[in-house]
C-alpha cells in the first residue's frame, strides 16, 4: 500500500508543473491545449502498454467504468474551463480545489476504509495552506454575479473526488484503461474547441516543448500514477497530501523566477506539510507485518 501511495503522490508532484508549463505554452486556448496534451497523454499510455503485462481479454470492463473515467478526466476540465470563464480565477480555483478534502471525507463511505480524526484535520490544514497560496494572503470576495461560475467550480471538485473514490471500487480494472479515457478526453476537447474557440497554435519550439511536457507529465503520466494510487494506496493520506500541489507549483514558479518567495509561502508550507504528515500518521506508526507476525509466534511459543 505504501508504494502505491507514493506512486499516487508522484501524480501530485507532476501536477505541480502544470502552471509553469501552461504559462510557457503561450496563448493556446484551453480546449485546444487540452486536446493536444491529452493526445500526447494517450501516447504515453500506448507506449506504457508495451511494457505492461497483457490485460485479461476475457474480463470485460463494466460500462460504468467508462462513464466514471471519461466524466472524471473530460468533465473536470470542461467544468473548470467553464468556471474560469464565469468567475474570478482565485475564487473558482479555490472552490475547485476542495476535491482533496472531499476525497478524505468521502473515503469514509468506501468498503474497508476507516476515517480517523487525523485524516480530517490533516486535510483541513492542507486546505488552509491552499487558501494562503491561492489568495496570495488577501481576502476572498464571493460575488452573487458569479454564482454560475462558482457552481461550475464546485462541480469540478465533486467530479474529480467522485472519479478518484469510485475508481477504487474497481481495483481489478487495469490502469492501462486510462489510455482510452485520455483518448476520449482529447476527442471531446477538440469538439469543444471547434465549437467554442478560435485556433491559436503554439508559437516556436519553446512553446511546443512546453506543450509536450504538459502531455508527458501533468496531463499524461500523472493520470496513470493517480489511478494506481487511488486503487491500491492509502486514499485518505493521498487526498490530504494532494494539497501539496499548489504549494509545489508555487515553489516551482519561484525556482523558475516567475514568483517571489515570502513568509506567506513559508506559512503555507508549514500548514500543508504538517497536514500531510498528520494524515499519514497511521503509516508512520504502523508496525511492519513481519514484526507483528514474529511477535505472535513468540507469544504462542511462550504459552506452550
Which residue from 7, 83, 15, 72 is spatially nearest to 220, judged by alpha carbons?
15
Angle, vertex CA 9, rays to CA 15 and CA 259, nearest 5: 40
pTM given for the model:
0.85
What's the pLDDT score for residue 54? 63
What's the pLDDT score for residue 291? 40
Average pLDDT along the chain, 304 residues, taken 10 residues at a time: 90 93 94 97 94 71 94 95 88 87 86 82 89 78 86 94 94 94 97 96 96 96 96 90 88 88 88 85 55 40 42
What's the pLDDT score for residue 129? 87
Q: What is the DSSP letter of 60?
A: P
Q: Residue 116: count other Cβ atoms within 10 Å of its Cβ.
A: 13
What's the pLDDT score for residue 218? 95
CA 177 from chain centre, in angstroms, equals: 17
Angle, vertex CA 49, rays to CA 165 and CA 177, nearest 5: 30
What's the pLDDT score for residue 278? 86
Q: Helix H segments across the chain? A: 2-15, 18-24, 30-49, 63-70, 76-86, 89-96, 99-106, 117-135, 147-167, 178-196, 205-216, 222-232, 235-241, 244-255, 263-279, 281-285, 289-303
What's the pLDDT score for residue 39? 98
Contact 92, 234 (CB under 8 A): no
What's the pLDDT score for residue 283? 62
What's the pLDDT score for residue 286? 54
Q: Residue 204: count other Cβ atoms within 10 Å of its Cβ.
A: 8
Amino acid at each position: 500500500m505504501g508504494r502505491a501511495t507514493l506512486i499516487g503522490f508522484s501524480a501530485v508532484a507532476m501536477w505541480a508543473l502544470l502552471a509553469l508549463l501552461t504559462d510557457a505554452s503561450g496563448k493556446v486556448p484551453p480546449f485546444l491545449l487540452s486536446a493536444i496534451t491529452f493526445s500526447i497523454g494517450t501516447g504515453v499510455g500506448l507506449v506504457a502498454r508495451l511494457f505492461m503485462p497483457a490485460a485479461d481479454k476475457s474480463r470485460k470492463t463494466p460500462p460504468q467504468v467508462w462513464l466514471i473515467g471519461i466524466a472524471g478526466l473530460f468533465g473536470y476540465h470542461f467544468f473548470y474551463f467553464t468556471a474560469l470563464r464565469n468567475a474570478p480565477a482565485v475564487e473558482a480555483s479555490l472552490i475547485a480545489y476542495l476535491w482533496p478534502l472531499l476525497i478524505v471525507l468521502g473515503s469514509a463511505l468506501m468498503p474497508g476504509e476507516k476515517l480517523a480524526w487525523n485524516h480530517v484535520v490533516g486535510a483541513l490544514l492542507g486546505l488552509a495552506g491552499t487558501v494562503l497560496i491561492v489568495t496570495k494572503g488577501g481576502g476572498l470576495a464571493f460575488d452573487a454575479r458569479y454564482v454560475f461560475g462558482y457552481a461550475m467550480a464546485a462541480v469540478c471538485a465533486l467530479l474529480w473526488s467522485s472519479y478518484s473514490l469510485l475508481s477504487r471500487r474497481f481495483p481489478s480494472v487495469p490502469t492501462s484503461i486510462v489510455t482510452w479515457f485520455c483518448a476520449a478526453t482529447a476527442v471531446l476537447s477538440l469538439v469543444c474547441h471547434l465549437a467554442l474557440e478560435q485556433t491559436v497554435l503554439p508559437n516556436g519550439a519553446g512553446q511546443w516543448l512546453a506543450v509536450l511536457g504538459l502531455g508527458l507529465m501533468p496531463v499524461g503520466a500523472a493520470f496513470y500514477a493517480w489511478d494506481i494510487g487511488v486503487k491500491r494506496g492509502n486514499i485518505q493520506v493521498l487526498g490530504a497530501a494532494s494539497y501539496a500541489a499548489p504549494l509545489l507549483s508555487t515553489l516551482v514558479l519561484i525556482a523558475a523566477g516567475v514568483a517571489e518567495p515570502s513568509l506567506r509561502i513559508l506559512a503555507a508550507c508549514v500548514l500543508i506539510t504538517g497536514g500531510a504528515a498528520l494524515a499519514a500518521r497511521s503509516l508512520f506508526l504502523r508496525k511492519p507485518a513481519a514484526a507483528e507476525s514474529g511477535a505472535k509466534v513468540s507469544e504462542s511459543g511462550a504459552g506452550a
